[in-house]
Amino acid sequence: MFSKAGRLGLASAMIVVLSMIAGWWQPALALPEAVMLEAPPAEGFYLSPKLRRLVKSHTSYEFGDPDAPRHSPLSRLEFPLDSWWGGLEVGYGHPDYSWRLELMTNISRDTDGKFKDSDWERPHSPGVLTTYSDARSRLKPSLTLDGSVDYSLRQHMRLPKGLDLRPVVGLRYQRYTFETYDGVQITRPEGQDDWRLDGVLGGEYIWFRQEYLQPYLGLRLSYGFEAPKTLSASRRVEIFLQGDWAYVIGDNRDHHLLRGDRITIEHTTGDAWHLSLGLKVPLGDLAFLGLSGDYLRIRTTGQHDYYAGDQEGGGHESWDYGVQVWSDQYSLTLFLEVPFSSFWR
């Protein structure tokens, strides 16, 4: 089911869209020519190679102690996402609608920042950190997919020349696979304030995979204006802003390699908010060069499953107390958009 924040966000978006349509809707033939937005000169299929940098980004999860009321969190793990990504987008642009499909994969392995593992293991003293470790982290082969379609409302609405408003429907999928290695763990003995070195965690010791499936709804606002003649004689500069909300289905799998077959799994649901701001300028009459900045905020809750390894006597437990999975992702993307028509010129 949708979270409370998600329901409020979806309702607000629907009210805004319906209000605009109610105030501006008119049959296209009834609008004066001066009000109609000119069709953009570029139309047809395009190919767009991309380079992306994630900055100050992470994906994390935590869970509470089901046997001790108010003891949450019991454990929290934080994985850094700052890394380089490369990929390709293919799409089709039209004055009235468009579709696009983007595939990205990591092109750097080591992430900036450290993996952090924190535990609050004393039920009688919740909130007192007892064990902490950090380590280097790297991304194994990971990927993101993003596909969407949109529809222009300009033929039905009174919009200033150059302005376009498009509802967007899409689907995002993210799969991140991490390895942590060469870590250090410290502990705080009960009754003491000082920390002591508990051990050096050499080599690889945690393998973690996280997946997010995100069907989304949103709005895209763009403004196009004539480019300087030095850039292009026929194409336009475009500034765009997109906001969308997604229902999120999440899945975690965490394998503690130093503890045999010990595995923890989280199945969660929640929502995500995404905002994108970008600029696209023509390079002559052959291509466009663009830059966009994005923020994606994911929040989910659900069920935690614990499978003890052979070294810990085996067994399985499942609970939902204090289970949270979340991610904040900031990114900058540089892209080159090449219309297919440019290849035959």
pTM above 0.95, yes or no: no
Structure tokens at 40: 């953009």
Separation between Cα atoms, residue 305 and residue 204, nearest integer Å: 23
Statement: residue 275 has pLDDT above 60? yes
The residues spanned by each domain of the chain are 4-344
Q: Strands, E, within 34-154: which ranges?
A: 44-63, 75-80, 84-93, 97-106, 115-119, 131-139, 143-151
Partners of 180 in beta bridges: 137, 206
Dump pLDDT digits (tens) for 73-108.
999 999 999 999 999 999 999 999 999 999 999 999
Q: How many C-beta atoms surround the C-beta of residue 192 within 10 A?
A: 9
Q: With the C-alpha atoms ordered 307, 134, 197, 72, is the resulting torsion angle positive or negative?
A: negative
Q: With the C-alpha atoms ordered 125, 127, 132, 138, is the resulting torsion angle positive or negative?
A: positive
Q: How confident is the model at residue 115 (pLDDT cuts 50, 70, 90)?
A: very high
Average pLDDT for the chain: 86
As to burial, measured by CB atoms within 10 angstroms (0-12 exposed, 13-18 middle, 19+ buried), residue 344 is: exposed
Question: Mean pLDDT, to the nearest integer, of 15-43?
Answer: 43
Dump pLDDT digits (tens) for 178-199.
999 999 999 998 877 788 988 8
Separation of CA 321 from chain center? 25
Question: 4-344 sits in which CATH class?
Answer: mainly beta
Taking alpha carbons only, the member of 337, 320, 167 closest to residue 245 is 167
Structure tokens at 210: 């996280």
